[in-house]
Amino acid sequence: MGKQFFGTDGIRGRTNQGAMTAATAMKVGQAAGTRFLRGTHRHRAVIGKDTRLSGYMLENAMVAGFTSVGMDVVLLGPMPTPAVALLTRELRADVGVMISASHNPYEDNGIKLFGPDGFKLSDEDELAIEAMLMGGDLGLAASPEIGRARRVDDARGRYIHAVKASLPSTVRLDGLKIAVDCANGAAYQVAPSAFWELGAEIVAVGVSPNGKNINDRCGSTHVELLQETVVSSGADIGIALDGDADRLIVVDEKGQTVDGDQIMALIGSQLAMRGELRGGGVVATVMSNLGLERYLNGQGLSLERTAVGDRHVLERMRAGGFNVGGEQSGHMILLDHATTGDGTVAALQVLSALVQSGKRASELLHLFDPVPQLLRNVRFGGGKPLETDSVRAAIADAEASLDGRGRLVIRPSGTEPVIRVMAEGDDAGEVEAAVASICHAVEKAAA
């Protein structure tokens, strides 16, 4: 049976519409609380959020849900997604919640759930929670057993300490000038503080959230602000995070963008040289550039590909014993240090390599030449355009035109009503023609 609420990364949508209402959030708290009431101990949920206006509404609704089934709640306030995963474990909580729609605009929001081990929930847990949302027993607590809620003051310090501990004690960032764009999101306090405490000079942008400016022309999905800041300030490197700080995009000292593929190439090869890379390679998705695969193969390493989504990457990493994985879009999962994507931890691995190499960022971070790759999104209002004969024919024709010199990835988004059409190959003209023909067919089918 398919899921009605959970998508590729929790529950997400436009606030006060569909599933993303206060009423549903309260039920999610009740259902998740009921699911994780195990044993006779006093149960605990941890809740963090990003800086969206709707975070207050959803946070309070989820507190009502958890406490109504007998769970105490610890409120972290604005904190990165990986901080919630970390503190769920450290505080011995039974369930963790991050209220965020990641890189989406402020009008959207979402609910990400973590188990007591700090990992995102299994399909089994999500389906069990969905069954309760659809009318199952929510197990309301007797009056004396209703939970309590409290805010903690040391959450920020705990996470900063853990982030800094991901570096060897001998590595400092003294002498580095770092531009940091926190997307007016969850890391607006912790990321600049962590880098500064390690000795760097910080030029911070995207650190003035007002509830509505998260990801607004800033952060990892809009790097123009960071590029301008790096060049104008003379920074050695730029670090861009997204709204919940599980993504990382880097800008070198020349203002050139460095995506997740180059970051994975650097971190993977650095760990391999030190004998610390597990699994014999790196895990990435079908969207990662063929250039990354060729580079890793040249280093005697493999590239394991999964379906799009950091959840799929993480599943393959855990099954195959890998410790480095991620996505071209900037999700970086380093299992030696975190149970989910952590842009700040990944940034520190890049900064450590920069310090130890003595190279400029432009030299260190461009390890391979990507093959021409083009991605376009086609918005549609309903239906299943990928199942129409005309779109299938266009895809078949495009595959034939590439004739083994490239590849296609066409898929519906898991978070918004768009079809993502990607092609890559050694000939840029063939790639552009293939994408254009498929997009045209999808637009006609969706009209």
Feature table: binding site: 102, 242, 244, 246
Q: For this structure, is 102 an active site residue?
A: yes
Distances (CA, A) of 373 to 63, 321, 389: 45, 30, 26
Look up residue 106 and give its two tokens.
């402020």
Long-range (24+ apart) CB contacts under 8 A made by 233-237 are 233/177, 233/179, 233/203, 234/177, 235/177, 235/178, 235/179, 235/203, 236/176, 236/177, 236/178, 236/354, 236/360, 236/361, 237/176, 237/178, 237/179, 237/350, 237/351, 237/354, 237/361
- Round to whole Å and give the CA distance between 201 and 179: 9
DSSP string for 281-324: EEEEETTS-HHHHHHHHHTT-EEEEESSSHHHHHHHHHHHT-SE
The one catalytic residue among 68, 100, 102, 269:
102
Look up residue 245 and give its two tokens.
């700080």
- Round to whole Å and give the CA distance between 185 and 209: 7
Contacts of 371 (CB under 8 A, 6+ apart): 289, 290, 291, 406, 424, 425, 426
Q: Given phi > 0 = left and psi -120 to 50 = alpha, else beta, which region is 279? A: left
User: CA nearest 110: which of 8, 191, 237?
Assistant: 8
Look up residue 149 and give its two tokens.
């809620």
Cβ-contact 296, 303 below 8 angstroms = yes
Taking only Cα atoms into account, the Rg of the chain, rounded to an integer number of angstroms, comes to: 22
Residues in the chain: 447
Placement of tokens 């009056």 in the chain: 143
Distances (CA, A) of 113 to 39, 100, 120: 20, 11, 6
Active site (catalytic) residues: 102
